[in-house]
Chain A
Amino acid sequence: MSGAGDLLHVVSNDTISARRKTFARLIIWGSGLLLLGVGAAQTLHSTGNAALGFENWRPTLYAYVAWAICLCWGQVLLHGENGKRTLFVLPAALFVISLTVFPLLFGLIIAFSDWNLSSPTGRHFNGLDNVRQMLADPFYWNAMTNMVWYTLAILVEYAIAFGLALALNAEIRARKFFRVAFLLPLMLSPVAVSWMIGKSMLEPRFGPVARLARELGWENPSFFGDPNVAKATIMIMDAWTFIPFMMIMILAGLQAIPKELSEAAKVDGATGWRAFWEVTFPLMLPVSITAILIRIIFKLKLADIVIAVTSGGPGGATDTVTSFIFREYRDRSNVGYGTLLAMVYLVVIIIAMTLLMKLADRITRPRT
């Protein structure tokens, strides 16, 4: 031990011998090579290039765990106390990598494979065939187009959510009760919503909503018969569930606005609408953008209501990308193509969200 070095952040400054360093490098590189070797051997075995008697991929997993342990141990051997500090993060990082990066890599391998679970020949690479199939798949692009409409509906949801938030932010009677009541739909499972509303209340003969529609003069009410009406009904059911989510975020934003600002606007003679448009709305933009972006992410995953109520019909009018992937994957065991569709959708979502966030950043940046 020596007293020199960075003693501000390090309690003990280890003297690390060259022999110890060599040993550390040896176990790190040795275990790394072992991992590579086992992985390569297993790959050769699984691709049929060598018969090495592996029954499963556990040897590679064990080699990875051994390498991870050696890597962590090696940090302490190499860097002493600094290495111990690394240990606070390194195991967690390795764990996260194992749970995200590896599955993603395996997912990519599957996405570029022809893999139907019923095929006796199993999985095999098919290059860009799945991409070509996707480009020519009318069901997928129909679902994509539907997603654009579903996403646009968020603007209306936002307007309603803002209105409700303003109402609940005002001094009204039973405000706490309404806040809880308006939140209830968000607490319901979308599947329950599908059955309670889609299957029961909107049932065309005996459902209460259909009866009311008949009373109001709609002779044969049908909420899922016409493509446009069906799409609108799904949008309304989904909106009913998720408007409270946007509302609660906007309400929190409204309550964070200092009262002085609205009072100052009032003193300056701003009327209700003007005060809202010139003061409240701009101040609420960051919260609004966040709420809308999160809502878009939720919306792009819309599937449960569609699967339970319409199965994507009539004629694909209510289909979503997720419900289509669900059918392709679950009903048709088309694992390779289904995975590619999911991967492409993930990339589309990431690009779209990045662009939206850039745009939102530009909109909400204070003008100087």
Chain B
Amino acid sequence: MKVDLYEIMSRAKFSRRRMLQGSAALGATAMMPSVMGFGPALAQDNVRAQILAIPGVGAGSPTDADWQKVGELCLGATKANVAEGEFAGVELTFFGINNNGLHNILFRGLLKGWETYTGAKINWIDLAQADYNPRLQQNIATGTVDFDILAMGAPLEGDTASKGLLDEMPDWVKAQIEMDDYVNYLKAPVGTWDGKTYRISIDGDCHTFAYRTDYFGEGAIGGAEVPKTWQEVNAVSKALAGQTDPLTGLPAHGYLDPLKGWGGFGFYFLENRAAAYAKHPADPAWLFDADTMKPRVNNPAWVQAIQDVMDLIATPNAYPADQINADPGTTGFSQFLAGTGSMLTWWGDIGSNARTSDTSVVGDVIGFGINRGSDKVYNSQAGAWEETYNESPNMAYLGWGVYVTNRVSGDEKKRKAAWSAAAHLGGKDLSLWMSAYPSGFQPYRNSHFQYDEWEAAGYDRAFVEDYLGSNADSYNHPNAAIEPRIPGIFQYYSVAEDELAKGYAGQYASAQETADAIAAAWEKITDQIGRESQIALYKASLGM
């Protein structure tokens, strides 16, 4: 769980009554196996209830002692596959980031019991978040991979799996971590390359739609209904220009597009608009033609998305002043949470900060949903619009996973040890704890959305259902827009940001011309990285 989300849930909604409820439920759950005679299934439930009580919702942030305790309690799956002391003498190196109390710092505690039981020893390569990518890219480019286990985001699979740097996941690991429990979009092809599985997911990512509940409803300034399509979003945004925000008394605004780049991450936000137009349910590809790598970014669907933004730029007061200089950080935190604007798409941080951040004023007037749809969708293969409703949640960034590198491939004992450690971190029960307490990771398994467990542990059910429900609906959507895991994907995004900035500033004559400039720049990148290899890798990443 993201730290902020934990704080909101534990701080704002915790009460003595809830604690008693939680304790009673936990006590009851703990007693059930012996009373009712149920075996292993309930033993697992017992573990889940036990770990959710460590340290207990509202009892402050977990400490290293808590992580170690949780890690030990979740060793059941490991013990089924590994004998005690089986990995004595094995040393593994783990590469990841060292954000305070999260990621590697947390993994150390969670793996302590595993190390004691198996006899293996883990050495840690801790990197600051900003140093992570350059170090990894440098290792890859110079052939100096010096680690056995790697925590990594799925978009980088194109830079690693495609180059044969990863070790294929053994079948026993798939069984141990119960991969079938993953939400739909994290199942293959994500985590796989050329049909081989490499990733143990420990996180999920997607953009969801957040809106101000006080803008919508009977008599509200935004209309009776929350906009369902991007066409409606734009119509409402234009109509709101010149009105007054019901909460702050300042000028009212509709949807907040970030018009400034954000190191490549800003492009995800144009994708949110484009997904409904461009991601056809019958076609997994939506950024490039899979057979040629010809960019689709200048097809009518994407041009429509860019045009939508340009229309709002051209509408006086549709955006807040200086929007041309607003990046996603600004739209999310300086604008939406501070009461400016009524609609936004973002990662989970907005939901979690809405009630916990001191600068947020929208905690009580915020609602969530999946990415907006469209009343038409472009069929790229037919080259024509189809007048039918379409929606497509944007799985921006795809979350963190644990991978094993090919350094261990030649040593079966070491290989098994590395996969066992990774499987322990990605285990079903341990992952529930990680999604419920500060870890830096979001829920990503269907079993994480059993709200009864959360309620029993003392969480506020209403908020969990609203906020996490929008995530669950996005994850399991049949037409989710999946990020292409090809080498250099952020290069494409970065150069697109530069061209979009010119387009938004009026330096190109039209949305089409802007899109054409992006497409030309993307073609250059594809040629530089290697078109044939990119085609093969793009297809592999789409599971084609």
> A residues touching B (Cβ–Cβ < 8 Å)?
114, 116-122, 139, 203-206, 220-225, 227, 230, 309-317, 327, 330-334
Give the complex CA separation of A206 and B322 in angstroms: 12
B530 and A224 contact, CB distance less than 8 A: no
A331 and B528 contact, CB distance less than 8 A: no
Give the complex CA separation of A333 and B488 in angstroms: 8
The count of chain B contact residues (Cβ–Cβ below 8 Å) is 44
Give the complex CA separation of A120 and B138 in angstroms: 13
B529 and A116 contact, CB distance less than 8 A: yes
Task: Say whether chain A's binding surface is mostly helix, strand, loop, or mixed.
Answer: loop
Given that A205-B340, A331-B264, A332-B494 are known contacts, is A312 also in contact with B501, CB under 8 Å in the complex?
Answer: yes
CB-defined A-B contacts under 8 Å, sample of 6: A118-B488, A118-B529, A314-B260, A332-B494, A332-B525, A333-B137
Question: Shortest Cβ distance from A125 into chain B, in angstroms?
Answer: 14
A327 and B321 contact, CB distance less than 8 A: no
Residues of B within 8 A of A117 (CB): 137-138, 140-141, 488
Question: Shortest Cβ distance from A188 into chain B, in angstroms?
Answer: 21
A332 and B491 contact, CB distance less than 8 A: yes
Residues of A within 8 A of B163 (CB): 120
- Besides A227-B505, A314-B505, 8 new A-B residue pairs in contact (Cβ under 8 A), listed by A number: A220-B321, A223-B322, A312-B498, A313-B325, A315-B502, A327-B494, A330-B134, A332-B495
B491 and A221 contact, CB distance less than 8 A: no
A139 and B498 contact, CB distance less than 8 A: yes
> B residues touching A (Cβ–Cβ < 8 Å)?
134, 137-138, 140-141, 158-159, 162-163, 250, 260-264, 320-325, 327, 334, 338, 340, 487-488, 490-491, 494-495, 497-498, 501-502, 504-507, 525, 528-530, 533
B501 and A315 contact, CB distance less than 8 A: yes
Give the complex CA separation of A121 and B533 in angstroms: 10
Give the complex CA separation of A139 and B497 in angstroms: 13
Partner pick for A122 among B137, B141, B334, B487, CB 8 A cutoff = B141
Smallest CB-CB A-B distances: 8 pairs: A315-B505, A118-B488, A331-B494, A224-B325, A118-B487, A222-B322, A204-B322, A332-B491
B320 and A316 contact, CB distance less than 8 A: no
Question: Shortest Cβ distance from B141 into chain A, in angstroms?
Answer: 5
B260 and A310 contact, CB distance less than 8 A: yes
A118 and B264 contact, CB distance less than 8 A: no
Give the complex CA separation of A222 and B322 in angstroms: 5
Residues of B within 8 A of A310 (CB): 260, 325
Partner pick for A114 among B162, B321, B528, CB 8 A cutoff = B528
Question: Shortest Cβ distance from B496 into chain A, in angstroms?
Answer: 11
Give the complex CA separation of A114 and B524 in angstroms: 12
B321 and A314 contact, CB distance less than 8 A: no
Given that A117-B137, A313-B261, A333-B488 are known contacts, is A205 also in contact with B498, CB under 8 Å in the complex?
Answer: no
Give the complex CA separation of A205 and B249 in angstroms: 12
Residues of A within 8 A of B488 (CB): 116-119, 332-333
Given that A119-B487, A312-B501, A332-B495 are known contacts, is A221 also in contact with B324, CB under 8 Å in the complex?
Answer: no
Residues of A within 8 A of B334 (CB): 203
A313 and B263 contact, CB distance less than 8 A: no
B501 and A313 contact, CB distance less than 8 A: yes
Residues of B within 8 A of A230 (CB): 325
Residues of A within 8 A of B504 (CB): 314-315
Question: Shortest Cβ distance from B450 into chain A, in angstroms?
Answer: 40
B321 and A204 contact, CB distance less than 8 A: yes
A334 and B491 contact, CB distance less than 8 A: yes
Question: Shortest Cβ distance from A259 into chain B, in angstroms?
Answer: 50
Residues of A within 8 A of B324 (CB): 224-225, 313-314
In the complex formed, the residue of B with least CB distance to A123 is B141
Residues of B within 8 A of A227 (CB): 505
Residues of A within 8 A of B134 (CB): 330
A314 and B137 contact, CB distance less than 8 A: no
Give the complex CA separation of A315 and B533 in angstroms: 33
A120 and B533 contact, CB distance less than 8 A: yes
In the complex formed, the residue of A with least CB distance to B537 is A120
Partner pick for A121 among B264, B322, B491, B530, CB 8 A cutoff = B530
B495 and A224 contact, CB distance less than 8 A: no
A225 and B501 contact, CB distance less than 8 A: no
Give the complex CA separation of A317 and B501 in angstroms: 10
B325 and A225 contact, CB distance less than 8 A: yes
A331 and B263 contact, CB distance less than 8 A: yes
Residues of A within 8 A of B261 (CB): 311, 313
Residues of B within 8 A of A334 (CB): 491, 528
Give the complex CA separation of A122 and B490 in angstroms: 18
Give the complex CA separation of A332 and B324 in angstroms: 23
Residues of A within 8 A of B497 (CB): 311
Residues of B within 8 A of A205 (CB): 250, 320-321, 338, 340
B530 and A119 contact, CB distance less than 8 A: yes
Give the complex CA separation of A332 and B491 in angstroms: 4
Give the complex CA separation of A221 and B320 in angstroms: 11
Question: Shortest Cβ distance from B321 into chain A, in angstroms?
Answer: 4
Residues of A within 8 A of B162 (CB): 120
A116 and B528 contact, CB distance less than 8 A: yes
Residues of B within 8 A of A309 (CB): 325
Residues of B within 8 A of A119 (CB): 487-488, 528-530
Residues of B within 8 A of A116 (CB): 488, 491, 525, 528-529
Given that A122-B141, A331-B494 are known contacts, is A225 also in contact with B321, CB under 8 Å in the complex?
Answer: yes
Give the complex CA separation of A90 and B264 in angstroms: 48
Partner pick for B491 among A118, A120, A122, A311, CB 8 A cutoff = A118
Question: Shortest Cβ distance from A44 into chain B, in angstroms?
Answer: 18
Residues of B within 8 A of A225 (CB): 321-325
Residues of B within 8 A of A122 (CB): 141
Residues of A within 8 A of B322 (CB): 204, 222-225
Residues of A within 8 A of B141 (CB): 117, 122
Question: Shortest Cβ distance from B337 into chain A, in angstroms?
Answer: 13
Residues of B within 8 A of A330 (CB): 134
Residues of B within 8 A of A332 (CB): 488, 490-491, 494-495, 525
